[in-house]
Every structure is written in structure tokens, then in C-alpha cells.
């Protein structure tokens, strides 16, 4: 496996694929998600598709890169949505 390097500072202290937690009261939380609506003009059935966000963080300078777990699922919804 190739060593990852920070695009900002060049450090190899990279922590990939970290969960991004949204914190609620009492310590409950959930992972942040990106949402694409298949039919944004609809009142109710917007056909939303969500994918969990993951962060890659540099342990040296704190640079953060974001990605989603399943981008193809999002793209499928985005590319099929109606122009409204
Ligand atoms: Zn860095």
C-alpha cells in the first residue's frame, strides 16, 4: 500500500477514512452525510440519496480532505434527476 502524504505539508502522518460525527445532547450522534435529491422540485418524494462523509486528516498540520464512501451512488441519483 502506497504511503499517503499530506497535500499541504507533505507529512506522512495521515489518518484516512475517519468518521465525522455530528454530536447531539447526551453524547448521541450520527455520521454526517452528503445528500443528492433526485427530484428537488417535488413537495414530498424528492428521491434523496445520501452517502456518509469520511475525512482524511493530517496529524501534523490538520489539513482535512473529505470524501464520500459511495460516490457512484450519489452520481447515479444526480445524473438521473429531472430538470425542474
Ligand atoms: Zn499536513
For residue 1, what pLDDT is reported?
52
Sorted by sequence, the CB contacts under 8 Å of residue 15 that are 6+ apart come out as: 56, 57, 58, 59
Domain positions in the chain are 14-80
CA atoms in the 13 A half-sphere facing the CB of 27: 0
Q: Residue 13 C-alpha to ligand 1 middle, in angstroms? A: 8
Q: Residue 31 corresponds to which cell in the numbers above?
A: 455520521
Q: Residue 58 C-alpha to ligand 1 middle, in angstroms? A: 5
pTM: predicted TM-score of the whole model, two decimal places: 0.73
Q: Residue 29: which pLDDT band, with cuts at 50, 70 and 90?
A: confident
Q: Residue 59 C-alpha to ligand 1 middle, in angstroms? A: 7
- The enclosing H or E element of 33 equals strand 33-37
Q: Residue 26 C-alpha to ligand 1 middle, in angstroms? A: 33
Q: Please state the rounded mean pLDDT for residues 36-52.
A: 88
For the CA atoms of the chain, what is the radius of gyration? 17
User: Does residue 78 or residue 43 have the better pLDDT?
Assistant: 78
Q: Residue 2 C-alpha to ligand 1 middle, in angstroms? A: 17
Q: Which residue has the cell 502506497?
A: 2
Q: Residue 35: which pLDDT band, with cuts at 50, 70 and 90?
A: very high
Amino acid at each position: 500500500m502506497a504511503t499517503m502524504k499530506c497535500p499541504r505539508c507533505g507529512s506522512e502522518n495521515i489518518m484516512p477514512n475517519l468518521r465525522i460525527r455530528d454530536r447531539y445532547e447526551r453524547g448521541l450522534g450520527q455520521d454526517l452525510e452528503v445528500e443528492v435529491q433526485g427530484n428537488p422540485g417535488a413537495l414530498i418524494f424528492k428521491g434523496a440519496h445520501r452517502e456518509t462523509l469520511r475525512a482524511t486528516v493530517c496529524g501534523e498540520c490538520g489539513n482535512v480532505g473529505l470524501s464520500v464512501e459511495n460516490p457512484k451512488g450519489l452520481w447515479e441519483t444526480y445524473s438521473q434527476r429531472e430538470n425542474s
